[in-house]
Structure 1
């Protein structure tokens, strides 16, 4: 926990449009992706992310866990410079908003992020799109020609100009020229496509955190957890030593 607090304190906040690739910290506002919104399974209201815990009341009045559910849909962080897709898979979620609903003998506790929520995210930042366009034209042409050869009827229909059921050298050169044109067209379209910024779980195991809390409060929370664990550890060590002195193990 203390290591996490130091990571948060030592990692400067970047802007999406100019962030360096790799381990990065972002802050902005939450927004949904285009298309049908993610809906809460409890009240059917639109959310960006949710975690749901369902409990059943027992005869003694205590609540017993029935099931849990966590959404996996991606959403956006907008910091005014650009938008970044946030993939919640594998993230530690520190979310303040939670609602409790009781229906008959069932209790539903839902933590959620909604549109316009302030977001803090630290993790692996990557920009995909025009910066990653493959430009090995010769290799792409070979792959495309191999795909065409695998579908011989379509190849003959397209390039067997004399109808003899074979592709001669002249016709094959025509096919190669067409493949080069199609590859270059695809590369041009890919280069013109907008870049996609993505935040995801780091592959090296470093902290991946998504929260609606400000980083100072998150850091304090991690430091408190570290202090609590240290106190428990020291107490357990002292107790073990004392029991050892009196012969109890």
Structure 2
């Protein structure tokens, strides 16, 4: 079902496909085709309308003020840093891509179709801050689409580029940077072990009487210095901003990524829903006529 949102209005071609099948099979009864169109239209209406309601009913939050759980944010796409991501065929710089290659020749020994989709994390920036987006499992409506043909192969690439408008509806998780008590103990022990591995530096810092070994009092001074160092490190960690991630909801609610604004995304889903509802209604009327005759 992911392709329904990614290809949008292309789902309406399903009805044309049914008409084409009926035209090719001419003598076949009309009833199965009308019934299929009616059922398919109702299912697609329900699918698009459910997604529309989630988009329309979820208020847009800033990245800094967004609450934990199901939420939506709107800003600009940004790279996470590190090695740049490139689309597989066109080598376009991007943050996310979905690429397909279809063989349209006559040699059936060739692989007919292959598809690639990236799941690398990227960032959503707004005026208040940023949030990391994990696109695995998302329904993506990308701004950039490129199609071309080379010989018997047809290529299609869709991608999100840096600085594109970015709308994300998903589940927000924030990982606290505040260390726990056990983390403090572990870091303290690690610091002391590192100091013991360098006895010359340890003696130079804490052997106050110069006898070449640490007394109980001098060792306690070393422990107090290690405590102070770990406390400073944990204080900096606790003061750092929370790391937030938008990801696929665990309860099955829609996870949508789009270059359109929240308003435009909702409007597009609403139009698709009611177009399918209208076509399903027409098919239902025709189905009743066929059953009555």
TM-score interval, smaller chain: 0.7 to 0.9
Q: Does residue 1:49 correspond to 2:96, yes or no?
A: yes
| Secondary structure in 2 matching 1:18 | coil
Distance in 1 separating the partners of 2:250 and 2:198: 43
TM-score (norm. length: structure 2): 0.64
The structure whose residues are more often strand, as a share, is 1
Distance 1:69 1:192, change over 3 A: same
User: More deviation in 31-40 or 152-161?
Assistant: 152-161
What does the per-residue CA deviation read over 1:164-219, in whole Å, with 9 as the maximum and x for residues that have no partner?
A: 7xx87545534432331122121222234344332122233322111223322343
Q: 2:237 aligns with which of 183, 187, 190?
A: 190
Distance 1:192 1:148, change over 3 A: closer
Number of aligned residues? 231
Distance in 1 separating the partners of 2:280 and 2:221: 73
The structure whose residues are more often helix, as a share, is 2
TM-score (norm. length: structure 1): 0.73
Q: Which has the larger radius of gyration?
A: 2
Distance 1:97 1:64, change over 3 A: farther
The answer (yes or no) to whether the contact 2:177–2:242 under 8 Å persists in 1 is no
Aligned-pair RMSD on alpha carbons?
3.8
Distance 1:163 1:218, change over 3 A: farther
CA positional deviation for 1:38: 1.6
Alignment correspondent of 1:142: 185
Q: Does residue 1:88 correspond to 2:135, yes or no?
A: yes
Q: Does residue 1:37 correspond to 2:81, yes or no?
A: no
What does the per-residue CA deviation read over 1:42-68, in whole Å, with 9 as the maximum and x for residues that have no partner?
A: 22221121101111123189x963311
What does the per-residue CA deviation read over 1:86-128, in whole Å, with 9 as the maximum and x for residues that have no partner?
A: 1112212233532112112221111111223222210112344
| Secondary structure in 1 matching 2:251 | coil
What does the per-residue CA deviation read over 1:207-247, in whole Å, with 9 as the maximum and x for residues that have no partner?
A: 2111223322343266359749987xx89xx9xxx8xxxxx
Q: Does residue 1:11 correspond to 2:58, yes or no?
A: yes
Distance 1:149 1:77, change over 3 A: closer
Distance in 2 separating the partners of 1:163 and 1:226: 85
